[in-house]
Each structure stands twice: as C-alpha cells, then as structure tokens.
Amino acid sequence: MERTLKFLGLGAAVRWFGTAMVYPFVGLYLRNVLNVGYAEIGLVLLAIAAAPLVVAPFGGLIVDRVGRRKVLLLALAAETGGVLTIALAMSNSWFPGIVLGGIFAGMAGNVESPASSAYVADYSTGSDRTKAFSWIRIGFNVGFTVGVAAGGVLVGYLGFVLTGFTSTVILGAATVVLAILLSPSPYDLARAKGGSTASTAAGPGTIRQSASILAHDRNFLLFALAFAFASATYSQWNTTFPIFVNSVAGVPYWVLGVALAMNGAIVIFGQAPITNLMIGRKHTSSAMISIVFMLLGFFALGVLSLGQATLLLGVFSFVFLVTISENLGALPFMTMPSNLAPSNEIGAYNGAFSLLTGVGAALAPSLGGLALSSTSNPLVIWGLLALPAIPSILLFRLLGRRVVGDKNRV
C-alpha cells in the first residue's frame, strides 16, 4: 500500500478520535441538558444533517477541479471550526449555536468525504482499492473506538463543554498532521502539469458535462438510491440508538461509551478478515448481506429490551450485529462510486453519492424521533425503523444483475 494512504489512515484515526467525543452525544445534550423532546430532537438532527447536503455535489465537483489534497485539508480545518462552535454554544447553553455549528461541521464533512475517496481512488484500482478503503475505515474506527469511549467517560465526569473543547484541539492536531504528511495525489500532480498519467485524466469537462454524465448513468443512480434507503436504516445506529439506550432504557453514559467503543474494536480487528473473505465476490451481494445483519441487530435489540434482565444483552448484541453489517456494507459504500465513475469524474460521483445517500441519513433522526414519541414498545420502535431496508435489498438485487465485471467485484 502507498505510504501516503497509510498516513491518510493515521489522519482518519486522529480526526475521528476527536469527532467521536462530540457527535454521538449531541442528541443526549439536547435531551438531558436543554430538555428538548424526542420528536424535536429528531427534527433538529434532521436539520443538522440535511442542510449540509446542499454542498455535497459541489464538494465533489470542486475536488475534481481544485485538487484532492488541498480540498481535504481545507475541509478538515473548517470541520474543526464547526466543532469549536458547538463547544462554545454548549458553554452558554445557546441552542442556535449548536445547530449552526453542527451544520457547518456537516458541510465541511460533505466536502471532505469526496476529497478523501477520490484521493484513495487515485492510488488504487480493483481489489487493491477495496483494501485501501478498508485500511482507511480501520483508521477511522481506531479513532472512533478510543474517542467515543473517552467521550462517554468525559461527558459523564467533566461534562459536555470540556469534552467539546478537547475534541476541537484533537481535530486541529489531525489537520496539522495531514498537512505535513500528505503528498499531492497522482491526479493532483497531473492537473498541476496540465497533462495526464496512465491512471488519471488531465481533468473533468464543464460542470454541465459532469452533471449530464451523472444524470444519464442509471446504474450509479440506482446504486445511490439503494444506499439512500439503506442509510435511513444504518444511521439509526448513531442517532436513535444512543438516545434509546440512555434516555429511554436508562443505561448509564459510561456503558453507552463502552458499547460504542465495542463497535470500533470489532471493526479494527474484523474489517480486514471480512474484506479478504469478500474479495472476488459482488459488492451488491455484500450490501444485501450487510442489511440482513442490520435487521437482525434491530430485532435483537427490540426483543431483548422488553425485559430489564436482558437489556444489556440486547444492547451489546445490537452493537455486534450492526458492526458486522457495517463491515460488509462499507465495501460497496466506499468503493463502488469510484468504480462506476470515469477517471476524471471520481470526485463528482462521490459528491453526488454523498448527497443522495445523505438524504436517507438525514431522514433517520426524524424517523427515530417519531418512532420514540409514538410508542414505548422497543420491538415496535425498531421494527418501524427497519422498514426502509426492504426497498434497499430489492434495488441491490436488481443492480447485481445489471452491473457486472470489475466494477461490481470486491
């Protein structure tokens, strides 16, 4: 693997160590400190997730025209500013500041995501690309595991505000580390020289041409739609799950932190074996199996939460099954947008993918808030939240027949 991709994985670890100390706990701050209702929390988190989506496609277009490394670093610096805004707002119990900070950080993340994906794609193809994305995901989860565990402890003992400021310092450090270590990608170098290499084109066409290519790529649009439905299910993990476990089921912060850290630990040690297991198989098959594991996790949490004696078993069973689901679903999610894209439109494809799947993810907290406010039965709550997965499975099955060859091979 290229050394610079290892540095990117290291940067992802430091970055997500910082963000995981804040992002999973915003909903709990709104509930437990500001006394916001469940349905209202869902709407707030919907606004925080939905508003940044307007920049997602433009982020991808900018990545193809300005360069991977430059956009990546600027986006990380902007995300640091967004988290600092959240921390400052929490220190003054300023509700609008929390929303604005979350939106700004989300906008930065929607630019960073296509930049990072395009950067990885520039250095790899085929199964090597899948393995490279798996390495980045492992780095992300190393940071997430330590960060969310630290966040659970710090929130419980020091409060939300100090935790937010600590996160800001760590994010700033991650940006500096990557600025020092990351080199321009082959695409960046080719664009700077105005030429091309064997693996990269000199550059994209006009924005209208990029939009036209995307609009006429039916396989890509079906793939993005399938993951939009899946994201409405996947994203319950980081929106509704913490609120349900702590505020509804009464599980302490530190136990929630341990459960979330378990998710990251399973990825760290399980992502590479699962990637190797799926090499040579279809990405769409990996996606369908992933959703089945997700549904099993929802069912386990719903059933085992019916009794107090089995509640913790339900929480940790959910985390285990959902993490296996994520490990499988990450392979097509991270890799196929770049596989389906022309070499000079990788940023545009990843930006459009972020937009379309982000719609599903943005709806997740609102759906979760409605489910939590409409019933107290855990099985009904998680059964309702599992419904978007059904059309997703059907679409992935259709795509498995339409997309053949290396584009759909792990």
What per-residue confidence (pLDDT) applies to 198?
A: 41
**Which residues are CB-neighbours of 243 under 8 A, at least 6 positions away?**
27, 28, 31, 38, 41, 368, 372
Give dist(CA 207, CA 58) in Å, integer. 9
Q: CA torsion angle for 269, 245, 45, 176 (degrees, to 10)?
A: -40
What per-residue confidence (pLDDT) applies to 195?
A: 53
Give dist(CA 321, CA 296) in Å, integer. 7
What per-residue confidence (pLDDT) applies to 328?
A: 95
What per-residue confidence (pLDDT) applies to 149?
A: 77
Write out the chain's pLDDT in tens, 410 residues.
678 888 888 888 888 888 878 887 887 788 878 888 877 887 887 778 777 777 877 888 888 888 899 999 999 999 999 999 999 998 888 988 888 998 999 899 888 888 998 999 998 888 888 888 888 888 887 887 788 778 878 887 778 888 889 889 988 988 998 899 888 988 888 887 765 444 444 567 788 888 899 999 999 999 999 999 999 998 898 778 988 988 888 888 778 878 877 887 888 888 889 999 999 999 999 999 999 999 999 999 999 999 889 999 999 999 999 999 999 999 999 899 999 998 888 888 988 898 888 888 878 888 888 898 888 899 999 999 999 999 999 999 999 999 988 899 99
| 256 burial type by CB count under 10 A (0-12 exposed, 13-18 middle, 19+ buried) | buried
Q: Which residues pair with 409 in a beta bridge?
A: 282
With a threshold of 0.85, does the pTM exceed it?
no
Q: CA torsion angle for 272, 276, 278, 282 (degrees, to 10)?
A: 100
- Tokens 């994906």 belong to residue: 117
What per-residue confidence (pLDDT) applies to 202?
A: 53
CB 325 within 8 A of CB 293: yes
**Range 3-194+201-408: architecture per CATH:** Up-down Bundle (1.20)
What per-residue confidence (pLDDT) applies to 250?
A: 84
User: What residue ranges do the domains of the chain occupy?
Assistant: 3-194+201-408
Residue 401: CB atoms within 10 Å = 9
Give dist(CA 354, CA 343) in Å, integer. 18
